[in-house]
Amino acid sequence: MLVYEKKKNKGIFSVGTALLAVVMLLGALYLSYNYNANDPLPVIYEQESDYVLQLPDFVSTDEIISMPYVVNASVATHYFDMSKSDETLDKAIVEFDDVYRPSQGVDYTFDGKVFEAVAMISGEVVDVFEDALMGKSISIKSDKGILITYQSLSKINFVIGDKVKQNEIVGLSGENLYNEDLGIHLHVSCMRNDTLVDPDNLIRKKISELN
């Protein structure tokens, strides 16, 4: 009988110890859960429905420099360059106030009609002004230090700080005093790294390919 009681007590003690261990384990798990529940879970990826990638309003691309018009205009005055033929140089001199001066740009005409002047390349408008001799003018600067000025305009569509995309309408051709004999025309001058260059040397070339 004594032996039986000892075995019974030992069994009760073993069961009680096991139950106590289980309770302690559950308590530890409960505390651990509550502690971790208060911590923010790391966000690995959060997907928005109907997500649309927003691109910048103005993206510079490797454009091919185009003509400053879309009509069938023609060159009335060439850029003066001694390497050109005599026939071309005859059309690269401008007479004003009884003085002959070398042309620093190119003049385009369209049968005496008004036509749209378009951006040769994308860029930012850095100057809008009215010159006493050259008329309404707008300058657009792009990559590779290229600055293109459109003059002898009757209308300008942009203001300083505007972003202009290639082939957008810059304005309308008009008249000026400096080359009055041409009548309605568009004068275009180009600078590269603060040096005048022949617009014809830029047209149909990629910006990235310019030296």
More confident residue, 48 or 162: 162
Q: Is residue 111 part of a domain?
A: yes
pLDDT-derived band at 25 (thresholds 50, 70, 90) equals low
Residue 27 has pLDDT above 70, yes or no: no
Residue 91 has pLDDT above 70, yes or no: yes
Residue 162 has pLDDT above 50, yes or no: yes
Q: Is residue 203 part of a domain?
A: yes
Cα separation, 31 vs 37, whole angstroms: 10
CA 167 to chain centre: 14
More confident residue, 91 or 26: 91
pLDDT-derived band at 7 (thresholds 50, 70, 90) equals very low
Average confidence (pLDDT) over 12-18: 47
Q: Is residue 47 part of a domain?
A: no
Report yes or no: 123 and 149 within 8 Å, Cβ to Cβ: no
Q: Is residue 80 part of a domain?
A: yes
Residue 130: name the closest of 184, 192, 175 by CA. Answer: 175
Q: What is the pLDDT of residues 58-77, one digit of tens each?
A: 545 589 999 999 999 999 99
Quick one: what percent of the chain has pLDDT higher than 90? 67
User: Tokens 């003059």 belong to which residue?
Assistant: 151
pLDDT of residue 10: 46
pLDDT of residue 138: 98
More confident residue, 174 or 24: 174
pLDDT-derived band at 78 (thresholds 50, 70, 90) equals very high
Cα separation, 115 vs 188, whole angstroms: 14
Q: Is residue 193 part of a domain?
A: yes
Q: Cite the beta strand spans of the chain per DSSP E.
A: 74-77, 93-96, 99-102, 106-109, 116-118, 123-131, 135-141, 146-156, 163-164, 169-173, 186-192, 195-197
Q: Is residue 20 part of a domain?
A: no
Q: What is the CB neighbour count within 10 angstroms for residue 162?
A: 16
Residue 46 has pLDDT above 50, yes or no: no
pTM here is: 0.72
CATH code, domain carrying 173: 2.70.70.10
Quick one: what percent of the chain has pLDDT higher than 70? 71
Q: Is residue 154 part of a domain?
A: yes
Owning domain of residue 137:
74-209
pLDDT of residue 211: 73
**8-state DSSP, 20:** H
Q: Is residue 1 part of a domain?
A: no
Q: Report the number of distinct structural domains present in the chain.
A: 1
CA dihedral 76, 149, 206, 84 (to 10 degrees): 40
Average confidence (pLDDT) over 134-163: 96
Cα separation, 171 vs 169, whole angstroms: 6
